[in-house]
C-alpha cells in the first residue's frame, strides 16, 4: 500500500471491530468474556484505526500465548500494552512486524492489518513489511559501527547509497530522536562510546530513519535511568505526530504519562482496552484495577 492511498483514506472514526460491534452496543461495553473492546471516553479524539488486530491467537508450539485478541490502534496515537510478565504483550508487539517468525514452531490464528493490509498477505514480503515498521528494543542494541552508519543501516540494506540523501537522513533522524545536538560533532566515531540513554535514542533514530509508519517499542526505557527515561518519553510525544506508536511497558507511570490508549493483558487475553485516563482512573475490570493499583503483577 502506498503513501498515496493512505493519505486519501477517509478519516473514519476509530470504532470497535465488527465482531465487537455486534456484541457491544456502546462505548465501554463489557462483553460476555469480560472483554472491553473500545470506548469513546474521549469523544474529541477521533483517530483513524491504523493497526487492527483481528481475532488474533498465537502459539509457541503447543502452548498458546495469545487468545483471540481484538483491538484497534489509532493512527498517530500512542497505544500502551501493559500487564504482568508473560501475559503476551511483547508477543503481540513482536507479531506486528513478524519478528516472532524467527522462533521455530510458531503458528497464529486470526489476522493483523496495518492500514488495511494484512501482514500475513503472502504477496507482501516480510522485508518490505519490516521496512514500514520501526522497532526499538528493551536493551539498546546499536551496531558496533559509527553513529552515522547505525542510523543509515536500513537505507544501506535497501541499497540506497546516495551520499547527500544519507547525510540528510542522518540529520533528520538524529534530530527526530533528539540526539543531533549531542553527537553532531562525532558522527563517525563509534556508537559504543555513547551513554545508555544516548544509545537508546540512537536506536530510535535508526528505527525512524527509513520513515516507517509504525514505531514499535518493547520496554524502551527498562534499562535507562530516570532522566534518560524522561527524554525518551518527551521524544515519544513528539514522534507521535508522525508515527503510530505501540509501546510495551512495565512502568505504570510511563504508560500513564505518555500513552493515549492503554490495553491491559493478562494470561494472553486482552482484559481491558480504553483510553489511558479511563484505564487508570476508572477501570471496568477488577484485574485491571488490581494491576494498575500495584496489587498484582
Partner 1 sequence: MSKNPEIKAVGTAFQSGSRAGENFVWLTSMGLAIGLTLVTSLLALILWEGLTVFWPQRVAVFQLVDGSTAGIAGKTTLAGEVVDYRTKVNHVIGKAFEQEYQLFVGNKDTYGFNFKFVDANAIKSKEYLNDYIVAERLENGRLIGVPVAIAMKDGSTIPANSPEFAHKLEEMVTGYNAQRAKILRIEKYRIGDINYEMEGLRLQEKGVRRRAAGDKAKEEAGLAPIREREAQLKKEYEVLAAEAKALRDGLVGNNLVLRLAGGEEYRQPIGAMLEFYYPNQLGFFGKVSMFFHRMWNFVSQDPREANTEGGIFPAIFGTFVMTLLMSVAVTPFGVIAAVYLREYAKQGVVVQLVRISVNNLAGVPSIVYGVFGLGFFVYFVGGNIDHWFFYESLPTPTVGTGGIMWAALTLSLLTLPVVIVATEEALAAVSRGTREAALACGASKWQTIQRVVLPSAAPGILTGLILAMARGAGEVAPLMLVGVVKLAPSLPLDTTFPFIHPERKFMHLGFHIYDLGFQSPDAEAAKPMVFATTLLLITLVVVLNLGAIMIRNHLRKKYAAGTF
Instruction: List residues near partner 1 by CB under 8 A.
Output: 97, 99, 102, 127-128, 130-131, 133-135, 137, 139, 141-145, 153-154, 156-158, 190, 192, 203, 206-207, 210
Cell 555513547 found at: 194
Choose between 88 and 142: whose C-beta lies nearer to partner 1: 142
In the block, which residue shows the cell 497464529?
A: 108
Give the burial class of 103: count Cβ atoms within 10 A of its Cβ; 0-12 exposed, 13-18 middle, 19 or more buried. exposed
Smaller CB distance to partner 1: residue 107 or 156?
A: 156
Taking the complex as a whole, the smallest distance from the CB of residue 10 to partner 1 amounts, in Å, to: 29
CB of 151 to partner 1, least distance (A): 10
Whether the CB-CB separation of 190 and 109 falls below 8 Å is answered with: no
Report in angstroms how near the CB of residue 285 gets to partner 1 at its nearest. 32
Q: Quick check: 89 and 248 in contact, CB under 8 A?
A: yes
Of the pair 46, 141, the CB lying nearest partner 1 is at 141
Considering beta carbons, is residue 11 or 102 the nearer one to partner 1?
102
Beta bridge partners of 245: 78, 215
CB of 206 to partner 1, least distance (A): 7
The residue among 17 and 94 lying less far from partner 1, judged by its C-beta, is: 94
Residue (47 or 142) nearer to partner 1, CB: 142
CB of 237 to partner 1, least distance (A): 22
CB of 213 to partner 1, least distance (A): 13
Q: CB nearer to partner 1: give 157 or 296.
A: 157
**Residue 216 C-beta: closest distance to partner 1, Å:** 8
Amino acid at each position: 500500500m502506498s503513501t498515496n492511498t493512505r493519505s486519501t483514506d477517509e478519516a473514519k472514526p476509530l470504532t470497535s471491530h465488527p465482531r465487537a460491534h455486534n456484541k457491544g452496543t456502546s462505548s465501554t461495553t463489557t462483553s460476555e468474556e469480560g472483554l472491553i473492546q473500545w470506548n469513546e471516553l474521549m469523544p474529541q479524539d477521533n483517530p483513524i484505526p491504523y493497526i487492527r488486530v483481528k481475532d488474533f491467537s498465537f502459539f509457541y508450539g503447543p502452548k498458546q500465548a495469545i487468545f483471540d485478541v481484538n483491538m484497534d490502534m489509532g493512527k498517530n496515537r500512542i497505544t500502551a500494552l501493559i500487564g504482568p510478565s508473560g501475559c503476551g504483550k511483547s508477543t503481540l508487539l513482536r507479531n506486528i512486524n513478524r519478528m516472532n517468525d524467527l522462533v521455530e514452531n510458531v503458528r497464529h490464528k486470526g489476522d493483523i492489518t496495518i492500514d488495511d493490509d494484512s501482514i500475513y498477505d503472502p504477496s507482501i514480503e516480510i522485508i518490505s513489511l519490516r521496512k514500514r515498521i520501526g522497532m526499538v528494543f528493551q536493551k539498546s542494541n546499536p551496531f558496533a559501527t559509527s553513529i552515522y552508519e547505525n542510523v543509515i543501516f536500513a537505507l544501506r540494506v535497501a541499497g540506497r547509497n546516495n551520499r547527500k540523501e544519507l547525510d540528510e537522513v542522518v540529520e533528520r533522524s538524529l534530530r527526530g530522536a533528539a540526539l543531533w545536538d549531542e553527537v553532531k560533532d562525532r558522527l563517525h566515531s563509534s556508537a559504543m562510546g555513547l551513554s545508555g540513554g544516548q544509545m537508546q535514542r540512537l536506536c530510535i533514530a535508526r528505527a525512524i530513519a527509513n520513515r516507517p509508519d509504525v514505531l514499535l517499542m518493547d520496554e524502551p526505557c527498562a534499562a535507562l535511568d530516570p532522566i534518560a527515561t524522561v527524554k525518551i518519553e518527551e521524544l515519544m510525544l513528539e514522534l507521535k505526530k508522525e508515527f503510530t506508536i505501540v509501546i510495551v511497558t512495565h512502568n505504570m507511570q510511563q504508560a500513564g504519562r505518555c500513552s493515549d490508549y492503554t490495553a491491559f493483558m493478562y494470561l494472553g487475553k486482552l482484559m481491558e482496552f480504553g483510553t489511558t485516563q479511563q484505564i487508570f482512573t476508572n477501570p471496568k475490570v477488577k484485574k485491571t484495577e488490581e494491576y494498575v493499583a500495584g496489587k498484582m503483577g
